[in-house]
Amino acid sequence: MSFTWKDALAELDRRRALARELGGERRVNRAHDQGRYTIRERIDRAASAFYEVGEFAAYEDVDATGKLRGMMPASYVCGLGEFAGRAVAVGGEDFTVRGGAPQTYLDRMKGGLGGFVEDLAHEYRIPLVLFMEGIGGDVAAQAEKGHSYLVSSLSWQRSYELLAEVPVLTMVSGAAVGGTAGRTVLSHFSVMTKDSVLFAGGPPLVKRALGVDVDKHELGGARVHTAESGCIDNLAEDEDDAIRQLQTVLGYLPQNVWEMPPRGDRSDPPDRWVDEVLDIIPENRRRPYKASKVVSAVVDRGSFFEVGARWGRAVTTGFARMDGIPVGIVASNPQHLGGALDAAAAEKQVRFVDTCSTFHLPIVYFVDVPGFMVGPNAERGNVVRWGMRAIQSIIQAEVPVVTIQVRKAYGMAVSATSSPDSLSLRLAWPTAEWGDLPVEGGVEAGFKHEIENAENPEEYRRLAEERMLALADPWKTAEAFGVENMIDPRDTREIVCAFLEASLHRVRTSLGPQRRQWSLRP
């Protein structure tokens, strides 16, 4: 048959139309009935421009007996997109085709677990945005191959390499199972819609393996992973909210580790007095306050975006800007465990500090920590190991760290707030107090026998505490230059902005991959 442009373009249009049908009208309608977008709809809503790769990849669809039912588009959609005004590699599973299972039927994976989309992010040094909805493994693959395959033959190397190269952002809507769940957490920021689930193995597998009936949301719902396991950073009301969160986070991060984060709007004066903090911090040192209110008062107005708000709540983490400079925020949260650092909070801090260090965001730490969390539950939760890992992460951070000593700073946990081996600027407010142990518990531990043998134990304890509190006067430490400066809290913004501006010279000269790789876990 002779070639004609008319026939060639008609065939192109026909195949493109088939690709647009995804897994068919019935499956697409089912996704809509469950309140979810298809992968193509997600990309359309997220990307202002999209140039697809592998649009015509397809496979022969057969039933369980091997009978051919027709051709189906591949279960992954990917390409180059414009996302939040930035060039990104973008992709996601098509759940309407084999539940978004890996494309072992293709000569080359398009994405999901390695594949073209990850190579695109690596080679072009652009962020990777992934929409996760897939079943992970697929027993049908061995029928296509003619044999079962060993999963360890599947390389994860590119997925891990990218963590030290470009921002990786993931979103779960629907179900992320097995390998899809694993790929989701290999990211710098993850978000999950409230009706979604994520697990290593779903309820049928749990039933078969353990004989336990469990609801999918009880097993791995959004509440489990954003408030208990910490597997996912943020919760989203719906897919549009999740996409907005991904776009917001990308706005704080550079295209890659060889570039600086983009400086934002500078309309909020750096010398603005922060009068609000005098009302936010109670004069009664035993009363808690909301850490995010202190942070929001100091940083550029409206710029604070909290990450991981529902998990590891003894610390508050998030991105913000100061005079337009993107920064990472860590703040003790006295509303949870009095701000004591437990294992979950330490793990959360490690992950966030590593992300800031990887992408050259200075860290501003607001300290009000009475120490590591104590007690049987804390010890069983491995608080000491995780606490020491938090210290390691702040010491190894290759970005400036400015520490604000707000109130309490006791015990080993304080070492997780700044590094004495680099220029970690420590600024104290007059409300600050510090030492090896909080005075109350320290007096009880150090003078136990004296208190017990005193004629009036309660009075003796009171007098001892008053004496120790007098010795803990922060001004004595300031006089000994044990802290870099004591400041009026209302001057905090101006001083921090000035030092961050000066520190950018150091940051610019250290661009590139870290001496150590970004770590998901210790």
Dump the DSSP string for 92-139: EE-TTTGGG---TTSSS--SSSSSHHHHHHHHHT--EEEEEEE----T
What is the C-alpha to C-alpha distance for residues 123 and 422, in angstroms, rounded to an integer? 34
Confidence band for 446, pLDDT divided at 50, 70 and 90: low
Q: State whether 237 and 304 are in the same domain.
A: no
The secondary structure element, H or E, covering residue 13 is: helix 5-20
The secondary structure element, H or E, covering residue 470 is: helix 457-471
Q: State whether 202 and 53 are in the same domain.
A: yes
Residue in the block written with tokens 């909301």? 290
> Are β-strands 58-62 and 86-93 bridged in parallel, bridged antiparallel, or unpaired?
unpaired
Query: In angstroms, what CA-CA distances link 312 with 230, 343, 393?
Result: 7, 8, 16
Q: State whether 241 and 332 are in the same domain.
A: no
Domain span including residue 93: 5-250
User: Is the Cβ–Cβ distance between 380 and 341 less than 8 Å?
Assistant: no
Q: State whether 329 and 289 are in the same domain.
A: yes
pLDDT at 508: 82
Percent of the chain at pLDDT exceeding 70? 87
pLDDT at 420: 82
> Are β-strands 168-177 and 128-134 bridged in parallel, bridged antiparallel, or unpaired?
parallel
Compute the mean pLDDT over every residue in the chain, rounded to the nearest whole number.
Answer: 88
Chain centroid to CA 371: how far?
A: 24
Q: State whether 195 and 313 are in the same domain.
A: no
State the average pLDDT over residues 65-91. Answer: 89
Residue 444 has pLDDT above 80, yes or no: no
More confident residue, 482 or 464: 482
- Backbone conformation region of residue 323, classed left if phi is above 0, alpha if psi is from -120 to 50, else beta: left
pLDDT at 186: 95
Confidence band for 514, pLDDT divided at 50, 70 and 90: low
More confident residue, 100 or 309: 309
What is the C-alpha to C-alpha distance for residues 500 and 360, in angstroms, rounded to an integer? 12
More confident residue, 139 or 465: 465
Closest CA to 415 of 376, 389, 382: 389
Q: State whether 291 and 419 are in the same domain.
A: yes
CATH of the domain at 81: 3.90.226.10
pLDDT at 522: 36
Is residue 271 a part of any domain in this protein? no
Percent of the chain at pLDDT exceeding 90? 67
Residue 174 has pLDDT above 80, yes or no: yes
Across 306-315, 369-378, 451-460, least confident range: 451-460
- Beta-bridged to residue 53, according to DSSP, are 78
pLDDT at 23: 84
The tally of domains found in the chain comes to 3
What is the C-alpha to C-alpha distance for residues 364 and 306, in angstroms, rounded to an integer? 14
Across 126-135, 150-159, 202-211, 218-227, least confident range: 150-159
pLDDT at 521: 45
Q: State whether 202 and 73 are in the same domain.
A: yes
Q: Which amino acid is at 315?
A: V
Q: State whether 47 and 20 are in the same domain.
A: yes
What is the C-alpha to C-alpha distance for residues 363 and 319, in angstroms, rounded to an integer? 9
Most confident range (mean pLDDT) of 174-183, 245-254, 425-434 is: 245-254
Q: State whether 143 and 200 are in the same domain.
A: yes
Residue 110 has pLDDT above 60, yes or no: yes
∠ Cα 392 293 232 (to 5°): 50
Q: Note the helical H segments in 334-491.
A: 343-358, 376-380, 383-396, 439-446, 448-453, 457-471, 474-479
- Identify the DSSP state of 151: G
Is residue 517 a part of any domain in this protein? no
Confidence band for 153, pLDDT divided at 50, 70 and 90: low
